[in-house]
Amino acid sequence: MSPSVWYDLVLFLLLFALYVYVFATVRITNLHKVYFLFHFLMMLWPLCQFATDMAHDRRLQLFYVTMSFVSLSMLGSGWLLLTVFLTGNADKLGKKRLFLLFAPAVIAVVGVVMNPFSLFVAPLEGGYIDRAYGPWFWIVIVILVSYFFCFPLCFVSDIAFLPNVTND
């Protein structure tokens, strides 16, 4: 068993402690609710990676790998949603924009969960601790990276429409 297994557990425990601390010490607003969602998705990755390495049943390993990549797929849209709330543009989110925000992530998640013909992941050496990624994995990565490229656009568009303020 590699040391990275224990790093994943320690990372999860640190993220969980931060989650509990923020939950216990702040007044819950809509921004905090979005943060909790984003933070929960972040916590799932190390927890599921740890569980994958600890499980011996191949089906259970596949479940944990699937859950970790479902959380990773939703992380981009969660980050962008948190950015929208941080910039104060939450009131501009309508049904159409929410659909556009989450549609690529949901498409990625459907492909990850279905894993047709092992296009997402296939086991190596009898289990999913060592695995081979297929073309759907790269589609998920492209979708995730595209969310992070959209992140600066939120700030640029927000700054571009700020009223001019002069100091008199």
pLDDT tens digits, residue range 31-85?
999 999 999 999 999 999 999 999 999 999 999 999 999 999 999 999 888 888 8
Q: Distance (Å, rounded) from C-alpha 59 to C-alpha 56? A: 9
Which pLDDT belongs to residue 162?
44
* Higher pLDDT, residue 41 or 162: 41
Task: Write the pLDDT tens digit of every residue in 107-122.
Answer: 999 999 999 999 999 9
Residue 44 burial by Cβ neighbours in a 10 Å radius (0-12, 13-18, 19+) = buried
Q: Give me the helices (H) in the chain, please.
A: 3-25, 30-54, 58-86, 95-114, 135-160
**Predicted confidence (pLDDT) at residue 27 exceeds the cutoff of 70:** yes
Q: Distance (Å, rounded) from C-alpha 40 to C-alpha 78? A: 10
Structure token pair of residue 44:
């799932």
| pLDDT confidence bin for 124, thresholds 50/70/90 | very high
Which pLDDT belongs to residue 8?
93
Tell me the pLDDT of the chain averaged across its residues: 88
Residue type, 156: V
Which pLDDT belongs to residue 134?
96
Q: Distance (Å, rounded) from C-alpha 114 to C-alpha 109? A: 8
Q: Distance (Å, rounded) from C-alpha 131 to C-alpha 126? A: 9
Which pLDDT belongs to residue 154?
64
